């Protein structure tokens, strides 16, 4: 069965998906990218182990895997079993993952995620930092799963900003030393980097706040620091422009368009004007002016996902629509979580939504192999 007609350029899902894509230094075998998903299954030192290696090995046929959101800093950890890249001791676990994915023919980058104001001192043992000392509602979790309501974060001072830039660059260096194909900066979903971009979480009066250009400055600087460490062609960035999520409020598309225009111009200028390797765009209206404006302004390939914050997982149809809209790849979260052979399933005449391949939210952030590495492949 072929997919209902979705674009005159493609006759079948396989035609749409099985096209290679150049992304900075690497070439992806197809247009389905595994969206970053923090599954919190590292050890208490933030080191990935065999279970994580197996999870990623199983999914090596994705065009690219973006890893769990992985902390570049001790104070950036969102939970005690989040993987990290802030310590050299964490490198060997990532080396195992890189070798497993590469050995199975895949590509993988680490998503560098500093939780910013979306964590708690009882998780990290350190003060919570953000763009500004602004309150927001929500909670982190302690090791037993108890809620830890967010407190008022500490605004990063000049030394703190320098330390965070250096942490991201050092983490990127470790990722590459481990053999990963690069890193993705998490500048979306309300975490530290996003807290600089959104007007409500950034009330700074220095050169990092007060105007769209200033709010874009810190993320651009972090990207520049990472590019200097590993090369702009090994760097991608995830953004969620115009979205209100995990404390960050971006409810004015005109303001968001201006802020992200500065950001995109900054990304395009890196690597002596060659630009960063890719943009990973999370936005509900991918055909709207804001998303299209960003896509057209950015010089490199853009991956897209319109589903952030929704209860229902995206589908093959969503992915094909994204490709038909002209995005270079579809970033897919929960379907990849629950289908180790997603690309094969979506390009073959295979049913979608078997009960045993339904993502189980109970195991998203807790547990071992159950709901992690035990989703079955398509039986044919």
Ligand X SMILES: Cc1cc2nc3c(=O)[nH]c(=O)nc-3n(C[C@H](O)[C@H](O)[C@H](O)COP(=O)(O)O)c2cc1C
Q: Which of residues 35, 128, 178, 281 is near ligand X by CB under 6 A?
A: 35
C-alpha distances (whole Å) from 195 to each of 26, 136, 162, 256, 347 are: 30, 11, 16, 13, 38
Q: Taking the CB of residue 159, how many other CB atoms lie within 10 A of it?
A: 8
Q: Which stretch binds ligand X (CB under 6 A): 102-110, 151-159, 269-277, 331-339?
A: 331-339
Query: Which residue number, 141 or 238, has a Cβ lying nearer to ligand X?
Result: 238
Beta strands (DSSP E) in 189-284 are 235-239, 278-282
Query: Which residue number, 8 or 351, has a Cβ lying nearer to ligand X?
Result: 351
**Catalytic residue status for 372:** no
Q: Which of residues 307, 347, 357, 373 is near ligand X by CB under 6 A?
A: 307
Judged by CB under 6 A, does residue 282 bind ligand X? Answer: yes
DSSP, res 312: S
Query: Which residue number, 135 or 285, has a Cβ lying nearer to ligand X?
Result: 285
Q: Which stretch binds ligand X (CB under 6 A): 9-17, 154-162, 183-191, 227-235?
A: 183-191
Q: If DSSP codes are grouped into helix, strand and coil, which group holds residue 338? A: helix
Sequence-ordered list of residues with C-beta below 8 angstroms from that of 276, at least 6 positions apart, any chain: 24, 223, 227, 232, 233, 235, 236, 237, 267, 268, 270, 300
CA distance 55 to 155: 37
Q: Which of residues 80, 148, 313, 325 is near ligand X by CB under 6 A?
A: 313
Q: Which stretch binds ligand X (CB under 6 A): 1-9, 98-106, 261-269, 329-337?
A: 329-337
Q: Which stretch binds ligand X (CB under 6 A): 12-20, 57-65, 182-190, 225-233?
A: 182-190
Size of the site for ligand X (CB under 6 A): 23
Judged by CB under 6 A, does residue 195 bind ligand X? Answer: no
Q: Taking the CB of residue 206, how many other CB atoms lie within 10 A of it?
A: 12
Sequence-ordered list of residues with C-beta below 8 angstroms from that of 302, at least 6 positions apart, any chain: 278, 279, 280, 281, 294, 295, 327, 328, 329
Judged by CB under 6 A, does residue 47 bind ligand X? Answer: no
What are the two backbone dihedrals, phi and then psi, of residue 309, each rounded to the nearest 5 degrees?
90, 0
Query: Which residue number, 186 or 295, has a Cβ lying nearer to ligand X?
Result: 186
Q: Which of residues 85, 334, 338, 357 is near ligand X by CB under 6 A?
A: 334
244 burial (CB, 10 Å; 0-12 / 13-18 / 19+) is middle
Q: Which stretch binds ligand X (CB under 6 A): 35-43, 56-64, 130-138, 260-268?
A: 35-43
Query: Which residue number, 198 or 282, has a Cβ lying nearer to ligand X?
Result: 282
Q: Which of residues 264, 332, 338, 342 is near ligand X by CB under 6 A?
A: 332
Q: Using CB under 6 A as the criterion, what x/- string covers residues 94-133 for binding ligand X? A: -----------------x-x--------------------
C-alpha distances (whole Å) from 16 to each of 50, 277, 329, 367 are: 34, 21, 10, 36
CA distance 211 to 20: 39
Query: Which residue number, 114 or 234, has a Cβ lying nearer to ligand X?
Result: 114
Going by their DSSP bridges, the two strands 32-34 and 64-70 should be labelled as: parallel
Query: Which residue number, 225 or 336, has a Cβ lying nearer to ligand X?
Result: 336
Tell which positions 228-267 bind ligand X, by CB under 6 A: 238
Composition of the chain by helix, strand, coil, percent to 5: 35, 15, 50
Catalytic residue chosen out of the listed positions 56, 86, 191, 327:
191
CA distance 324 to 346: 15
Judged by CB under 6 A, does residue 38 bind ligand X? Answer: yes
Judged by CB under 6 A, does residue 37 bind ligand X? Answer: yes
The residues annotated as belonging to the active site are 191
Where do contacts with ligand X occur on this chain (CB under 6 A)?
35-38, 68-69, 111, 113, 186, 188-189, 238, 282, 305, 307-308, 313-314, 332-335, 364
């Amino acid at each position: 069965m072929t997919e209902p007609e979705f674009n005159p350029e493609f006759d079948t899902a396989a035609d749409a998906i099985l096209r290679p894509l150049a992304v900075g230094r690497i070439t992806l075998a197809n247009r389905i990218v595994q969206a970053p998903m923090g599954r919190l299954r590292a050890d208490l030192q933030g080191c990935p182990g065999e279970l994580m290696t197996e999870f990623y090995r199983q999914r090596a046929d994705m065009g690219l895997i973006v890893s769990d959101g992985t902390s570049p800093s001790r104070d950036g950890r969102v939970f005690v079993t989040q993987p990290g890249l802030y310590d050299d001791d964490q490198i060997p676990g990532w080396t195992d993952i890189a070798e497993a994915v590469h050995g199975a023919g895949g590509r993988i980058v680490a998503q560098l995620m500093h939780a910013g104001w979306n964590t708690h001192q009882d998780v990290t043992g350190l003060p919570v930092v953000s763009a500004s000392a602004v309150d927001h509602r929500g909670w982190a979790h302690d090791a037993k799963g108890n809620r830890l309501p967010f407190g008022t974060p500490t605004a990063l001072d000049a030394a703190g900003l320098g330390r965070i830039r250096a942490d991201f660059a050092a983490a990127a260096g470790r990722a590459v030393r481990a053999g990963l194909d690069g890193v993705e900066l998490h500048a979306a979903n309300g975490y530290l980097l996003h807290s600089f971009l959104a007007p409500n979480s950034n009330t700074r009066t220095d050169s990092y706040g007060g105007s769209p250009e200033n709010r874009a400055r810190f993320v651009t600087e972090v990207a520049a620091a990472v590019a200097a460490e590993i090369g702009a062609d090994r760097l991608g960035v995830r953004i969620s422009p115009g979205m209100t999520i995990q404390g960050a409020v971006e409810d004015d598309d005109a303001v968001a368009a201006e802020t992200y225009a500065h950001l995109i111009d900054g990304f395009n200028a890196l690597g002596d004007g060659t630009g960063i390797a890719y943009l990973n765009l999370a936005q509900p209206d991918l055909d709207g002016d804001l998303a299209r404006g960003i896509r057209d302004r950015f010089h490199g390939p853009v991956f897209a996902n319109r589903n952030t914050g929704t209860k229902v997982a995206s589908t093959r149809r969503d992915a094909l629509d994204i490709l038909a809209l002209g995005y270079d790849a579809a970033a897919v979260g929960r379907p990849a979580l629950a289908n180790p052979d997603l690309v094969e399933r979506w390009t073959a005449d295979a049913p979608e939504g078997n009960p045993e391949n339904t993502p189980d939210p109970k195991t998203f952030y807790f547990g071992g192999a159950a709901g992690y590495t035990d989703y079955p492949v398509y039986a044919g």
